[in-house]
Amino acid sequence: MLEVEGLTKYFGDMAAVDDMSFRIPDGKILGLIGQNGAGKSTTFRLILNFLDADDGTILWNGKPLKEKDYDVIGYLPEERGLYPKVTIEDQLIYFGRLRGKKKKEIVPLIDKWMEKFQVKGEKTDKVKSLSKGNQQKVQLIATLIHEPKLIILDEPFSGLDPVNAELLKEGIIELKENGSCVIFSSHNMENVEKICDHLVMLRDGEMVLDGSVQAIRESFGRTHLEIETPLSKEELEAIPGVLRVENPRENYYHLRLESSDVGREVFEEAIKVTDYIPIFNQQPPTLEEIFKLKVGEEDE
């Protein structure tokens, strides 16, 4: 388990990370989101001891991280770095040995991970001969091949197409199921929403959201309504508390509500004109909408 308590880091007068606290139990995934410059990468560097914190504690399994503990950490930085003139195999062996593994432990895993991430190339190929996407996969394999217990991924989905992003998600989930704890940052809210057990959002170094994805969404109320009804757009707009109505196709609407209670009013109006409502789906805002809302507050 990773525990972060009261983590604070200043650069001059600016608080890059301000009194941050969270924990990641074994077998759980935490998503860290926020605008560029919100403090995500700084948080990772503090955990990894690349930077010294001004205040706070970082504990791994109840104790401060020691040098040997870094052998069970896998870290993917936002700025990727591979040796272009070195073969895939030699590169992965090298990174594995840096994490305390022996060559004979790493070699049998190379084919497994290359197959898992569908790397197009042979392990004897030099990295410079690979496409950018396949180079990124090799970088991910270098992060994970020593089977770390704590995995830190800074924008791991950046530059990946949907197919390869799905492969990465499957790889992360497999490590979670094997008991690793994972923390990653991403600007893709859909990926965060799908695989995170817990979410922390930063704004200017401060935590502004903290909880499970569903609990955070529910805290904003079920203000989005999808409905199929013979009512017209004008009739729906006339219902008190309906803020916006979109009509993508005949008799089908997306409504933005002032509060969750307005959904009952819409239902009662709809049932007056028909005894059957094929679609009535009231949900909280998506994580992406919440992200935009919280970021927007900064500019108000």
218-234: pLDDT as tens digits? 999 999 999 999 999 99
* Contact call for residues 9 and 204 (beta carbons, < 8 A): no
- Could you tell me if 125 and 22 lie in one domain? yes
Give residue-wise pLDDT tens across range 141-177. 998 888 899 999 998 888 778 888 888 888 888 888 9
User: What does the mean pLDDT of the chain come to?
Assistant: 90
| Residue 294: inside a domain | no
pLDDT tier at 21 (50, 70, 90 boundaries)?
very high
Q: Two tokens at 242?
A: 């309906």
**Can you give the CATH number for the domain in which 233 is found?**
3.30.70
Place of tokens 């109320």: 221
pLDDT winner (highest mean) among 47-51, 76-80, 111-115, 239-243: 239-243
Please say whether the beta carbons of 276 and 286 come within 8 A: no
Model pTM? 0.82
Residue 202 and residue 114 share a domain: yes
Same domain, residue pair 163 and 273:
no
Residue 299 lies in a domain: no
Of 223, 202, 268, 163, the closest CA to residue 31 belongs to 202
Q: What pLDDT, on the 0 to 100 scale, is given for residue 59? A: 94
- Give kind and range of the element (H or E) at residue 203: strand 198-203
Residues 157 and 258 in one domain: no
What percentage of the chain exceeds 70 in pLDDT?
Answer: 98
* Gap between the Cα atoms of 211 and 290, Å rounded: 13
**3-class SS of residue 70:** helix
Question: Is residue 239 one of the residues assigned to a domain?
Answer: yes
* Selection from 163, 203, 158 nearest residue 185 by Cα: 158
Highest mean pLDDT among 67-76, 129-138, 250-259: 250-259
Which distant-in-sequence residues (6+ apart) come within 8 Å of 66 by Cβ?
A: none
Tell me the residue range of the domain where 230 lies.
221-283
Q: Is residue 225 one of the residues assigned to a domain?
A: yes
Bridge partners of 31, per DSSP, are 184, 199
200/110 same-domain check: yes
Structural domain ending residue among the three candidates 199, 218, 237: 218
64 domain residue, yes or no: yes
Q: Residue 25 falls within a domain, yes or no?
A: yes
Whether residues 134 and 233 share a domain: the answer is no
- Give the amino acid at 128: K
Q: How many domains does the chain have?
A: 2
- Indicate whether 166 and 234 sit together in one domain: no
Q: Report the CATH number at residue 204.
A: 3.40.50.300
Tell me if 290 is assigned to some domain. no
136 and 255 in one domain? no
Does residue 96 share a domain with residue 179?
A: yes
299 band by pLDDT with thresholds 50, 70 and 90:
very low
Please tell me whether residues 191 and 238 are part of one structural domain: no
In this structure, the answer to whether residues 43 and 147 fall within a common structural domain is yes
Retrieve residue 249's tokens.
């196709």
In a domain, 288, yes or no: no
